[in-house]
Amino acid sequence: MPNVFSSLPEKREGVFANEDALKPEFIPDALPGRENELTQIALALRPLAESAGAKGRNLFVFGPPGSGKTASTRRALKDLNEYSDKAWCFYVNCWQYATRHAVFSQLAFLAEEPLPRRGLAADEVFERFAGAVRTSKKNAVVVLDEFDRLLQAGNDKLLYDLARAKELSGANFTEILISNDADLLSKLDARARSSLQPATIEFKQYSPTQLKEILLERAAAAFHENVLSKEALALCAACGAKAGGDARVALQALYDAGRNAEQRGARFVELVDAKKAVLEQEVMSASKEKRLTGLTRLEESTLSVLREAGKPLESGELYSLLEGVASERSLRECLNLLQLKKLVVLEEKGSVTGERGRTRLIKLA
């Protein structure tokens, strides 16, 4: 028998040159439409690069989801790191680390400060982190992204801890708080707020033209040359515009469009691929009620038959219950659409049953 690897069918080249360039954690080279905001962040942080003990300006960054807050801030940190070895940058997402203790532990971890396994109280963990910063004699910037997550249960007291550490221990921090909520500051613990006194940077939602520029830039890194149709890109940008100028939604649609093209075995990303991606996006974001409006007659009948049955049905059973209403073929198409709209779940039942072909089990979602 020949070597199984050398006898595999030839590897197809897909549409992606580097699909990671469309992933949320990718830090793009260019941030079209955010040049001013990036400059403002850099101006606030510039003192950190200049002399030991220098303080930057605390910042409050807010704007709607997908408006580039995280990407711009991370970009500023990356550039600051490259520009100067006087600054030490810490980035924590508070959605991921959702308590004062968890944030401090992550900060200590990022500062490479080993913590004993027996566990330490939050104050002690913080002391380790502050100690590491103090010893380093560097100017630290602490970014707390999605800070709204810390508003509950007094976790926002950690801002006060940071301020006090500056006074008492001589460790030097500049803080950046990021949130979707424009009113975040007014919800902070009073002491925390007065210790922060930040300058505010607002990120506005992207215009449709800006979203197109963003997608063009990212697509150039993600796809092979000349594989993405203009129409497909425009549709993905429009999808982000409709979602409130959200670059994340637009990029996800573009990524899914690429995947759809590869799944069809195509070498080009066409409008059909984007249409499918956008439909899926809309389905994901629409509430179930909204998904239930605008159904075809057949889709409605199918759902009501399933509801009446009160249990999952095999495709054969469903077909006989709808006999005369729909052909087997149109029922199959209808089921695929209902699955796409996340209203039913289709499960392959493995075995091939005679002439009927593969049996599927159909459940309401």
In the complex, the residues that contact ligand ADP under the rule CB under 6 A are 24, 28, 31-34, 63, 65-71, 214, 217-218, 247-248, 251
Q: Are 315 and 351 in contact (CB under 8 A)?
A: no
Nearer to ligand ADP, 48 or 214 (CB): 214
Closest contact distance (angstroms) between CB of 18 and ligand ADP is 14
DSSP symbol at 155? T
Other CB atoms within 10 A of residue 135 CB: 11
Cα–Cα dist 240/68, whole Å: 13
Pairing state between β 313-314 and 87-93: unpaired
> Which of Mg ion, ligand ADP, none is residue 68 near (CB under 5 to 8 Å by kind)?
ligand ADP
Cβ contacts of residue 58 below 8 Å, gap of 6+?
44, 174, 175, 176, 177, 196, 197, 198, 199
> Which of ligand ADP, Mg ion, none is residue 247 near (CB under 5 to 8 Å by kind)?
ligand ADP
Q: Are 301 and 325 in contact (CB under 8 A)?
A: yes
The angle, 0 to 180 degrees and rounded to 10, between the axes of the packed helices 328-340 and 297-309 is: 80
Q: Are 160 and 189 in contact (CB under 8 A)?
A: yes
Using DSSP's 3-state secondary structure scheme, residue 290 falls into: helix
Using DSSP's 3-state secondary structure scheme, residue 199 falls into: strand
Nearer to ligand ADP, 70 or 155 (CB): 70
Closest contact distance (angstroms) between CB of 142 and ligand ADP is 17
Cα–Cα dist 229/240, whole Å: 17
Residue 67 interacts with Mg ion (CB under 5 A): yes or no = no
- Candidates 40, 58, 67, 70; binder of Mg ion (CB under 5 A) is 70
Q: Which residue has the tokens 């500049």?
A: 174
Nearer to Mg ion, 58 or 70 (CB): 70
Nearer to Mg ion, 70 or 302 (CB): 70
> Which of ligand ADP, Mg ion, none is residue 24 near (CB under 5 to 8 Å by kind)?
ligand ADP
Closest contact distance (angstroms) between CB of 194 and ligand ADP is 27
Nearer to ligand ADP, 13 or 35 (CB): 35
The stretch near Mg ion (CB under 5 A) out of 63-71, 103-111, 239-247, 252-260 is 63-71
Closest contact distance (angstroms) between CB of 218 and ligand ADP is 6
Helix H segments across 86-141? Answer: 100-110, 122-136
Q: Are 60 and 184 in contact (CB under 8 A)?
A: yes
**Residue closest to ligand ADP when measured from CB atoms:** 68
Closest contact distance (angstroms) between CB of 37 and ligand ADP is 9
Closest contact distance (angstroms) between CB of 236 and ligand ADP is 12
Residues near Mg ion (CB under 5 A), total:
1
Closest contact distance (angstroms) between CB of 147 and Mg ion is 11
Nearer to ligand ADP, 14 or 32 (CB): 32
Q: What is the side-by-side strand order in the sheet with 313-314?
A: 313-314, 358-364, 344-352
What are the beta bridge partners of residue 363? 345
Nearer to ligand ADP, 38 or 133 (CB): 38
Residues within the interface to Mg ion (CB under 5 A): 70
